């Protein structure tokens, strides 16, 4: 075969995978990977424009506006989205009934948490300007509503494993937010408050087309089902209990910095955090596909095989990308954010390996949720949160930026070990099989890149 024919075969194979035309575990991961690449390119572009438009101090104010609201907004839906994915994965024909029941349960809770956030934010952000506080309040209200109108339909598409529609839907909000940001940057010199409200509205608007896609992908009646209430609330409460320490572990550094640290230092730190999100390009698709895959598996052997390959693959991809980010970090910061943010390089060198570990932690947590064991996630994240609180309490007053980065790294290592232990016990997999990549894993990943459609028949069954 000529080199041009080989190149055409390789390209056509990747196009088939990335557009979701191959229904297999690898195909679903690859299409999710493509979506994450596009989403992160948009995110990096908007982060760069945001930082250059606002400067370090304004970027810190924007983080204060969105940080607490994102944290409280996640609480607002009481773990119902994760329960919707789980219930829909187990009974795809009841998807509309699950969606209607989930929205009915999550709506009142979201309203209550939004009201609580409106009252609490002036106290939490009292060191900031009134404009920042008011923007944070409106952001909290809009984000709580979006978690019902935007997130639940997304979960329906994920649950029925309609990954082509699901991946397309995940790009709506980033694209809308990018358009809003560019428009405001061109028309005026926007403040952090104005941009915060603009981002909140982008979530609400994005929910409309996602609802249409979820409607077209499902059948049946939108009917509240009392039989789903108890299992949904039980599962959702367990996921929520686990997500509270989980979200605190991910966000507590920025949440406390928004209260105690001057906005400029927070802005420097947030830029480093934004760049490390690049590592989720390779690993996040595994976590996103793993929950419904594990939940729908027919045997423990199938669960063990999928879990081992997915986690080891995530570790290989995360390590490779962390190394690349560490090597190129100084250049990326200078080009994308400018000389004013060069102080972000040092925390970036610590947060890059931390982000690689976090990607594996996320995949392990989703696997345990798919196994119906969210309480194991709760226990691990609670221990990690304790480590985070101790670390931040000691380091923030003395060295806020460096201390927050080191604390994140240590906490993620602790959670990784505890979640891996729980997965080993749940499916009977050894530590070596779960966590130690082999040459075969590296070769499999490399072969998947070079020959994306090879082995699809086997892959679809495993």
Distance CA(154)–CA(111), nearest Å, equals 20
Q: Which residue has the tokens 């204060």?
A: 64
Distance CA(133)–CA(121), nearest Å, equals 7
| pLDDT of the residue at 328 | 93
| pLDDT of the residue at 11 | 52
Where b means 16+ CB within 10 Å and e means fewer, 204-239 reads bbbbeebbebbeebbeeeeeeeeebeeebbebbebb
Residue 439 structure tokens: 């040459």
Low-confidence ranges of the chain (pLDDT < 70): 1-31, 74, 76, 78, 242, 281-289, 291-292, 441, 443-462
Cβ neighbors of 119 (< 8 A, separation 6 or more) are none
Distance CA(13)–CA(15), nearest Å, equals 5
| pLDDT of the residue at 367 | 85
Sign of the dihedral defined by the CA atoms of residues 232, 234, 238, 240, in that order: positive
> Is the pTM value of this prediction over 0.85?
no
Distance CA(181)–CA(170), nearest Å, equals 18
**CA end-to-end span of the chain:** 30
Rg of the chain, C-alpha, whole Å: 21
């Amino acid at each position: 075969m000529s080199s041009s024919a080989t190149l055409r075969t390789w390209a056509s194979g990747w196009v088939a995978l990335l557009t979701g035309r191959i229904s297999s575990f690898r195909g679903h991961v690859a299409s999710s990977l493509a979506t994450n690449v596009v989403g992160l390119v948009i995110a990096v572009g908007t982060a760069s424009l945001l930082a250059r438009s606002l400067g370090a101090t304004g970027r810190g104010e924007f983080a204060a506006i969105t940080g607490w609201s994102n944290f409280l907004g996640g609480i607002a839906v009481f773990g119902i989205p994760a329960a919707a994915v789980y219930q829909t994965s187990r009974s795809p024909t009841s998807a509309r009934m699950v969606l209607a029941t989930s929205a009915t349960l999550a709506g009142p809770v979201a309203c209550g948490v939004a009201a609580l956030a409106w009252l609490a934010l002036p106290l939490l952000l009292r060191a900031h300007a009134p404009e920042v506080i008011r923007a944070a309040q409106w952001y909290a209200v809009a984000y709580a509503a979006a978690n019902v109108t935007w997130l639940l339909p997304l979960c329906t598409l994920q649950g029925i494993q309609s990954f082509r529609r699901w991946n397309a839907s995940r790009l709506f909000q980033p694209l809308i937010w990018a358009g809003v940001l560019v428009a405001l940057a061109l028309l005026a010199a926007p403040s952090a408050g104005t941009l915060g409200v603009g981002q909140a509205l982008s979530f609400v608007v994005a929910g409309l087309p996602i609802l249409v896609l979820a409607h077209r992908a499902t059948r049946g009646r939108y009917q509240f089902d009392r039989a789903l209430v108890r299992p949904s609330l039980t599962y959702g409460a367990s996921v929520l209990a686990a997500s509270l320490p989980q979200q605190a572990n991910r966000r507590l550094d920025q949440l406390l910095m928004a209260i105690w640290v001057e906005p400029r230092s927070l802005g420097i730190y947030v830029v480093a955090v934004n760049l490390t999100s690049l590592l989720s390009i390779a690993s996040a698709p595994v976590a996103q596909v793993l929950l419904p895959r594990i939940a729908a598996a027919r045997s423990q052997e199938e669960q063990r095989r999928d879990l081992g390959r997915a986690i080891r693959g995530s570790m290989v991809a995360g390590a490779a990308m962390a190394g690349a980010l560490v090597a190129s970090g100084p250049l990326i910061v200078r080009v994308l954010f400018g000389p004013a943010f060069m102080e972000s390089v040092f925390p970036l060198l610590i947060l890059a390996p931390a982000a690689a570990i976090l990607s594996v932690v996320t995949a392990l947590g989703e696997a345990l949720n798919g196994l119906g064991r969210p309480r194991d996630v709760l226990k691990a994240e609670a221990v990690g949160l304790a480590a985070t609180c101790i670390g931040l309490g000691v380091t923030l007053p003395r060295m806020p930026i460096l201390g927050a980065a080191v604390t994140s790294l240590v906490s993620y290592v602790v959670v990784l070990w505890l979640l891996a232990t729980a997965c080993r016990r749940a499916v009977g997999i050894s530590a070596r099989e779960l966590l130690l990549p082999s040459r075969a894993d590296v070769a499999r990943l490399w072969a998947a890149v070079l020959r994306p459609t090879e082995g699809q028949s086997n892959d679809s069954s495993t």
